[in-house]
Structure 1
Amino acid sequence: MIEILNPAELDRARATGALVADILQALRGRSVVGANLLDIDRWAGELIADAGARSCYVDYAPSFGRGPFGHYVCTAVNDAVLHGMPRDQTLADGDLLTLDLAVLLDGVAADSAISFVVGDTRPPESVALIDVTERALAAGIAAAGPGARIGDLSHAIGEVLTAAGHAVNTEFGGHGIGSTMHQEPHVSNLGRPGRGYRLRPGLLLALEPWVMADTDELVVDADGWTLRSATGSRTAHSEHTIAVTEDGAEILTLPTRA
């Protein structure tokens, strides 16, 4: 299913996107050395409930997971990159943490992910991984607009990732979003320009470049959800929900406060 939102629905999408971004920033501020992943998940649940929204993850049960997910936010640490299931783990100085949050508010969903280093230590490899995913995300957004094709976005993202020397896993990528979290079209992080679905104003996309330092192979934890690099290398993941507009693309998941 591909949804094209009308102006009223787009206004609701803006509100949902701002909520997701603000919750992620609040969680980032609390994700200090010694914080427990289960506490981060609990805080996410409280912030979502306070806003009258609901997490898209609690009842999420796709074919590739061991569902339902049963938590409010994905928490991926170091070699974990996608679908990180919160567990009894405390954060240490220098950990690379990814928080991935999707929320439904007033019938419209938004999805975003941020990666950052916990504490005062800044391992150069972690900083570089975060930087390349953020640059790839910016490139994908810049390529979006009415008349562009999905392959144009995938190509723009992949060019940044591969130029930095990364192999790109194409099992998981971006996606359409609207009244539900995951919709068509799929947006691979590697692709050929001029191919695929043609973008139209009112289309919402969640773009999410992610990389692993020295591999493109994933392994899954015993929890049936958490995906890690097969080599144990560090990972990073950046994501925004955007709306295709008449003259480009609007980022919906920007925080409303610093």
Structure 2
Amino acid sequence: MPMRVAFLGPEGTYGERAARSLMKLEDIENPVLVACSGLRSVVEHVADGRCESAVVPVENSVEGGVTAILDALWSYSNLRIRRAVVLPIRHALLSSGSLDGISEVLSHPQALAQCSGWLARHLPQAVLLPASSTAEAARMVRGSRFRAAIADRSLAGQQGLQELAYPVNDVAGNRTRFLLLQNGAVSGEGDVASLAFSLHQNAPGALIEALQAIGDLGLNMSRIESRPSKRELGEYVFFVDVELPGQRTSELLERLSTSLQPLCEHLLHFGAYPSSVLE
């Protein structure tokens, strides 16, 4: 049976591109890509077994963490990260009309935020409207003379749109990190490991003590991000990525879990995995 891979649809999203890249890196032939509406749905498709894998964006170099994915990872303790890929993001402004006639711009909220400076300079009067994905935004503006979408430039040909401007993202080095999620055992091999934890109580030094446990093992923490626990104000969940030295990784991760366990109310280990950067 071919592997079923969920991604944020419809066809033409950056998520689909990341999914195809990850399948090549995993040497998976002829995967069945399953387009989902909404990031939460993408995660649920792998969590409940409808798909064997899911590809989701977790972090953007401009806008930071994708909160819907972080919350979903905390909700489904059976999920593991198999691999990560960093994708360059180059947005285009697509429409059936002309630039001076655009009064509404549609896209995924992350894409709108990544292009906010360009939009303020070139389309200051335009109303910015959220869509479920960049590809869905391109579909929604098709045939309209006053609407435009921020999306991948390849969608111009697919949707019969004109490319009014490219690139329109504010930062030239705009990149997004995508994760390949699966169910199963935690892997101990790779150059990055991801964990999430909540503390027993909001007390002085509690977070420092947990971070010190990482430092005491000589591990470099490449990312830390917090999300509300959703139980009470001031209570947080922490997501941490650590770089691995390439040797004794399984032993280091076991020692790290042993050190963190007594300090944490809940501790999730998403595994070690390879991370690639695509140009």
Task: Give the TM-score, by structure 2 length.
Answer: 0.21
Bigger proportion of residues as strand: 2
- Greater Rg by CA: 2
Task: Give the TM-score, by structure 1 length.
Answer: 0.22
